[in-house]
Amino acid sequence: MSRVLLILPTGTYRAADFVGAASALGAEVVVASEHPQAMARAMDDRALVVPLGRPEAAADAIVELARRRPLDAVVAVDEQGVLAAALAGERLGLAHNPPAAVAATRDKAAARAVLAAAGVAQPAFRVVRSGDDVTAAADAVGLPCVVKPVSLSGSRGVIRADDRTSATVAAERIRNILDDAGEDGHGPLLVEAFVPGSEVALEGLLRSGELEVLALFDKPDPLDGPYFEETVYVTPSRLPERVQAAVAALVGAGATALGLREGPIHAEVRVDGEEVTLLEIAARSIGGLCARALRFGAGISLEEVILRHALGLPLGDLRREASASGVMMLPIPRSGLLRQVGGVDGARAVPGVEGVELTVARGRRVVALPEGDRYLGFVFARGATPDDVEASLRAASASLEVEIADPA
């Protein structure tokens, strides 16, 4: 029996889906996380506590475990574990990305420098360090601009600034967000040119450095700021084939420049007419529960595809299912205490909708972007065409009534 270690951050949405995929493959699962989890406690010696904030130490713990009970794969399910997985995979001789390449994807400034050196199309940028003049950087890249942390993910701390004053205000706000997230609030920030156009997300799998596109999602809602809250994802893309090919070529060039070679990647690309611009590449698959919108071959999940690759098992047919599909991430409209989300039954009854998953319990504090890092939940739909799927997702969203109270 194959043994796979899954790095599952405490706050991940994806534990059950990855464990289920491993079970479908007949693989034994070892769970590594920052804290003992309910699932892990039931797994006895197949649970490992690791310090994900210290990837080298986390990798040391994984390697020590593997000496006692060999592993066939180490897979990070979310952003927080990718560097530890790469380090452990390298030391154990398992399928992995080079740690230096993964580290670059975790530092947006480092990634920008590597991509610039390789001539990959990306926004003009400047790195702003503590004490630097943010307005000078904004002037250099041009207004409007986008100010963002070099760490964090999921659009957290990403703010558009339309003038010099708002650029300074955005930088101060981002430093506070970093402090609240336990990151270095005095560390470098990125100031980038705002790139107009629509946005797409590419889900891919690297095998020996070659990119296989698994899905290309349209994001039909405008992402123009001041914050960049993602909502609707629909696949297959409705872009012309030549533009889709340009997106894939750009992402492949970016992955090569960064040195990524094995496993899933998730990339964000801006499209303005025929012009494509790489926003970022992550050495992981799509976040949240969004992977549930994807099925491949004879109906296998994205998680199973990832585990098959990591374990060296046959991948079979990686073509996405024939029907269109999509997901809507339910945004948090304002910060406060979640009283309830009404209309869920009505949303589930919308033709084409296959599921509505709420991921925040009533009575919990919720935080809107740019400070927040979570969604209220997810709506999934399938249909004959991307337009049908988008219509189903929007109708379901319109059925929901979110009540948020001011905190006591």
DSSP per residue over 321-374, as a string?
PSSEEEEEEE---SSEEEEEEE-HHHHHTSTTEEEEEE-S-TT-EE--TTT---
Tokens of 79: 């952003």
Mean pLDDT to the nearest integer, 210-216: 98
The predicted-structure confidence for 321-377, as pLDDT tens digits, reads as follows 999 999 999 999 999 999 999 999 999 999 999 999 999 999 999 999 999 989 999
Q: If DSSP codes are grouped into helix, strand and coil, which group holds residue 289?
A: coil
Instruction: Yes or no: say if 253 and 226 are a contact pair by the CB < 8 Å rule.
Output: no
70, 73, 331 from 369: Cα distances, Å: 42, 35, 9
Cα atoms found within 13 Å of the Cα of residue 70, Cβ hemisphere only: 7
pLDDT, mean over the chain: 95
Query: Residue 44's pLDDT is what?
Result: 55
Query: Residue 43's pLDDT is what?
Result: 53
Virtual torsion, Cα 379, 380, 385, 388, nearest 10 deg: -30
User: pLDDT category, 42, cuts 50, 70, 90?
Assistant: very low
Q: Give start and end residues of each alpha helix (H) in 72-183.
A: 82-92, 99-105, 108-117, 134-141, 164-180
* 3-7/73-76 β-pairing: parallel
Give burial (CB, 10 Å; 0-12/13-18/19+) of 317. exposed
Tokens of 330: 């339910």
The predicted-structure confidence for 144-165, as pLDDT tens digits, reads as follows 999 999 999 889 999 999 999 9
Tokens of 282: 């992550």
Instruction: Yes or no: say if 119 and 93 are a contact pair by the CB < 8 Å rule.
Output: no
Query: Residue 45's pLDDT is what?
Result: 61
Longest dimension (CA), the chain: 60
Sorted by sequence, the CB contacts under 8 Å of residue 44 that are 6+ apart come out as none
Higher local confidence (pLDDT), 11 or 182:
182
Domains and CATH numbers, the chain: 3-103 (3.40.50.20), 124-193 (3.30.1490.20), 324-408 (3.90.1170.50)
74, 127, 131 from 186: Cα distances, Å: 33, 13, 9
